[in-house]
Structures are given as C-alpha cells and as structure tokens.
Chains A and B, each alone.
Chain A
Amino acid sequence: MKKTFPQTVHLAVTLAALLVSLYFIFLYAPQESTMGEVQRIFYIHVSSGNMAFLAYFLTFFGSFVYLWKRNESADDFAYGSAEVGFIFCTCVLITGPLWAKPVWGIWWTWDERLTPTFFLWLLFVGYLMLRSYVIAPGRAALLAAVVSTLGVVDVVFDFWVIRMKSYRGQHPAAVMGGGENSGLDPRMWVAVFVTFVACLLLFSYLVRQYMRVAALRRQVARLRQLRDSSSGA
C-alpha cells in the first residue's frame, strides 16, 4: 500500500478533489430558485451526513474484524474511522442549522432525519470517550469493539423508532433516494456526487494518517520497553 500509493500522493489527490468539489459546488451547480445561495450548503451537508453514517458502519466493520482475527490494524482502522466520522457528524450538525435558520426560520427541529443524526453523534461521543478512559490500555480495543457492535444495531432501532414516532417531516425528502419530488437539477446531482467522492478521499486520507500514528505509537512503546529492560538489566 505504502509503495503503490504514497501518502503525499494521497494528500495531493485529496486536496485536488476538494478544490474540484468547490468548483462544482459554487460555479457549476445552478442556483436554487427559491432558497438562493444558501442552498449550496446542501452539498457539504449531505456528503458529510452520508460519510458520518458510513464511518460508524466502518468502525463496526473494523471492530468485527478485530474480534474475529485480532488484527491490530483492524482496530486502528475502527478507531480512526470513529474519530474522523465524529468530525463529519459534527459538520452535519453545524451545517444543518446554518441552512435551516434562513430557510425554515429555526435552528433545530426534532425531525426524522435530524434526530437519528444527533443520536449517531452521541454514539460517537460514547465510543471515543470510552477509548480514552479505559484503565488497562490492552483492553480498550476489545471493549470498544463490543460498544460499536451494540451501537450499530442501535442505529437500526433509532431509524425504526423515529419513523414510528412520525414526526412531521421538515427535512427535504428523498435526498439520496431520488424520486420525482426531490426536484434536483441534474447538474446538482453531479455536484453532490463530486463532493461525496472528495469527502471519501478526505476520509480515507485522514484514517490512513491516524493508522500511521497508531502504528508509530506501538513501535515507540515497543522500543521504550526494550530500552527500559536493557538499561534495567
């Protein structure tokens, strides 16, 4: 991996994709007729939202592999994607109200899309807090893997419950599902897609950076132990 696709190239591609996505968001996509400029928040908002849910699922996936194979880098991947996913989730919760205020006139509503996203954010917080507060560091990976498995099942229940509660839908419908009433210009779809790809690249770059930090940390710990044991003898 390292040789075939060096980190610097990864960073360069990510930055380029982000700049391209800015072009598509601000220049290529047409202005929405009723909401005006503000509507352009939509592109980053939707992409971060999808990334946040994807990241939680990937955290579960990494945890599952870790429980099965006890592969340390699977756990690093789980932790990294939780950290980056938490940031994406925070971005959704920031950009959402910034769009809702001028359009709906309110910052927040307990709607069927906002509510599960907020629950997801809480799940990320729980996972990350657990990882930094476990007393015996060797057990953190196992406990976190259990937590993320319980969490991913809970996300399914969250959607079920929220649907049953039948909140009135403030949120624009069928953002990813398409549909007749979504009324998106085809060029807007292109911009959504480009932004999502840029976000995927950003996510993969940051998770990879995190995995490198974790690997280095282990190496340092091992060498330290070696030094301490040799100086003690």
Chain B
Amino acid sequence: MHTLRIIAAIFEKDLRVEWRHRETLASMCVFGLLVIFLFNFAFEPAGEESLRLLPGLLWIAFAFAGVLGFNRSFASERENAALEGMRLAPVDAGAIYIGKMLANLFFMAIAEAVMVFAASLWYNFSFIPALGWFTLSTFFCTLGYVAVGTIFAAIAANTRMREVMLPVLQFPVAIPIFIAGVEASTGALKGDPPGDYASWIKLAAGFSVIFVVLSYLLFEFVLEE
C-alpha cells in the first residue's frame, strides 16, 4: 500500500511539473514531428512504399523523441538537486523508478499519438482499420523502451555529456524492442492475420516485464551514494 502511494506521488509530481512548464512533451512532440516531416522530403514515399517505410519511420521518431524526454526527466531532477532529496527519502528506490517510468510512459503515449496522427495526415495513410493491434503492439514495445530508457536516463544523469551517454547506453539494449516494434506494426498495418506477428508482441511483452522487474530491483544501486 505504502509503495503504491509513493508511486502515485512521484507520478503525480512529474505530471504537475510538466503541466506547469510544458517542456518535456512540447520538445518530444516537436522533435518527433520534425523527424517525420524531414523523412518525407528525404524519401518522398507514396502509396505502397509508405506502408513499407512507415513503421520504421515511426519507430525512429519514437526512439529519438523518447531519448529527449527521458533525458529531461532526470536532468530536471539534477538541476535542483532533487535526486539527492529522493536518495535521502526513506522510501523504496524501486517505487521511485516505477513512478518516473509511468510518467515517462504517459508522456511517450501522448507524443506517439501526436506523431501517428501527423504521419497519417502527411502520408495519407489510415491507421483506423488496424488500430487495435497497432495500439497493442505499440503499447508493449513502448513499455519496454520506457523501462530501459528510464533507468539509463538515471544512470546517464551521473555523467558528463549525458545527452550523448543516454542513447549510447540505451539504443544497443533497446534493439530487440525496435525490431519487434517495426515487425509487429508492419504486420498490423498490412492487415496480416494477428497470428503471424503475435510472437513479436509476446517478445515485446516479455522484454517489458523482465526489464521493469530488473530495473525495479537495480534502481536502489543507481540512487545509492
């Protein structure tokens, strides 16, 4: 019970900070939109081709927007020495991780919705027919991505050049998630029978569960002085 309250408190705090400053979400969305927009001029895909490129493009945009958001989520804690405060609080470090992770997941979900909407407009592509399976696969892949992103952002916050350190640490570990995300959403958008790509969703779900639990257990060491 106590742990749940801490998680809720951290989550609420991050949302409130975001509501007052609107820094993280704005930068994630704008950056993601720029990636999608530039991609259009780089490749000018049309028709069939955009179906082939769209899942990969969306995941590149998600990945970079995510790195931006995760970096912010711990950079702001560092600037005001709030991380030290958290370290001193007599609470389970894992609960802090889960709270931050859920807040990041929330921001990612909004930013992803914005990017998907923009992509569907600019590429004249309708996500509606495949929305259910596309959302399901994207949810699990995003969960896995956020799970590793949050703990690596906390680690990278302790380094010089943390903006570079985060992707260097996170991207190699997140590779299975990228591949699963691209494969599953390609299958969903093509309208394949869900059985064909369900294994990718399972992989993403397994990855998410394992990395959430592992990070929950390891976060104590990240905060430790």
Contact = CB atoms under 8 A, between A and B. Distances in A.
A74 B224 CA distance: 18
Interface of B: 148, 151-152, 155, 158-161, 165, 168-169, 171-173, 175-176, 179-180, 183, 199-200, 203, 207, 210-211, 214-215, 218, 221-222, 224-225
B217 to A, nearest CB: 9
B69 to A, nearest CB: 19
Contact of B203 (A133, A134, A150, A161): A161
Contacts of A184: none
Contacts of A104: none
B141 to A, nearest CB: 12
Interface string A130-154: 1001111001001101110111011
A119 interface: yes
Contacts of B165: 129-130, 133
A157 interface: yes
A157 to B, nearest CB: 4
B222 A142 contact: yes
A161 B158 CA distance: 31
Interface of A: 67, 119, 122-123, 125-126, 129-130, 133-136, 139, 142-143, 145-147, 149-151, 153-154, 157-158, 160-161, 164-165
Nearest to B200: A164
Contacts of B200: 164
A150 B144 CA distance: 13
Contacts of A130: 155, 159, 165, 169
Given A133-B160, A134-B158, A143-B155, A160 B218 contact: no
Contact of A146 (B155, B159, B203): B155
B196 to A, nearest CB: 12
Contacts, number: 85
A9 B34 CA distance: 61
A150 B158 contact: no
B171 A160 contact: no
Contacts of B152: 147, 150
Nearest to B215: A150
Given A164-B199, A165-B183, 16 more contacts: A126-B172, A129-B165, A129-B169, A135-B158, A135-B160, A143-B155, A143-B222, A145-B221, A147-B155, A153-B210, A157-B203, A157-B207, A160-B176, A161-B179, A164-B203, A165-B179
A149 B218 contact: yes
A23 B215 CA distance: 48
Contact of A119 (B151, B155, B172, B225): B172
A214 B158 CA distance: 22
A76 B151 CA distance: 23
A200 B215 CA distance: 32
Contacts of A142: 221-222, 224
Given A126-B169, A130-B165, A161-B179, A149 B158 contact: no
B222 A146 contact: yes
A100 B198 CA distance: 35
A146 B221 contact: yes
8 contacts: A122-B171, A134-B158, A135-B158, A135-B159, A142-B221, A150-B151, A157-B176, A158-B175
A154 B221 CA distance: 19
Contact of A150 (B171, B179, B183, B218): B218
A134 B159 contact: yes
Contact of B172 (A67, A122, A165): A122
Contacts of A123: 172-173
- Sorted from nearest, which 10 A-B pairs have the closest CB atoms? A122-B172, A133-B159, A157-B176, A161-B176, A126-B169, A154-B173, A146-B218, A142-B221, A143-B155, A133-B160
Contact of A154 (B158, B172, B225): B172
